[in-house]
Amino acid sequence: LPEALGSLAALEQLRVGHNELTRLPTALWRLQSLKVLNLDSTQLTDLPSEIAQLQPLKELHLSSNQLTELPTALCSLAALEKLYVGNNEVTCLPAALGQLQSLKVLDLNRNQLTELPTALCSLAALEKLYVGNNEVTCLPAALGQLQSLKELSLSVNNLREVPEAVWSLAALEQLHLDSNKLSSLPAAMGQLQSLK
């Protein structure tokens, strides 16, 4: 991408997915009106901490790259509502993840996560959480704090049990638990009256 990109002060959406961008130009961080940034399938191996300079950003698409981690700086994007990181190689999430208080959608499908940080449970606005096709063995007990959660996908993991707190997610409409190592589900599951 050319450095001249940084002069597009009014640019609100930049979609450069499905290209071979192994690194991002410094000009990108000068796009102070940017609300949507799509970097899906661009062969990125890391996300620079300068991402924090894009404060108006509402949607960030990073799916199908080669990311192994997310920078802590990402967690300072206060306006971020949708974060797509599916189909990467992420093994753990930043502890500061809970700072993303506007986040409504978090897609972590197809990574290498073995656990979810407790900080994730403080994302009060979160409506959709996708953690399918990982290696998660247990869930944080505080997951029940996500009272806005409508969709929870935990398919294809290594879960042996689901914490009691999940059964108190009153707004939950979709729950995917297929292809885990669960031997039973508790009667408390009947408390999820919004399931469809």
Cα-flanking dihedrals φ and ψ of residue 67, to 5°?
Answer: -70, 135
Q: What is the pLDDT of residues 52-77, one digit of tens each?
A: 999 999 999 999 999 999 999 999 99
User: 163, 140 in Cβ contact below 8 A?
Assistant: yes
Q: What is the pLDDT of residues 112-149, one digit of tens each?
A: 999 999 999 999 999 999 999 999 999 999 999 999 99
For CA atoms 101, 97, 75, 169, the dihedral sign is negative
Q: Which of 148, 149, 154 is nearest to 134 (CA)?
A: 154
Q: What is the pLDDT of residues 21-43, one digit of tens each?
A: 888 889 999 999 999 999 999 99
User: Within a 10 A sphere around the Cβ of 133, how many other Cβ atoms?
Assistant: 20
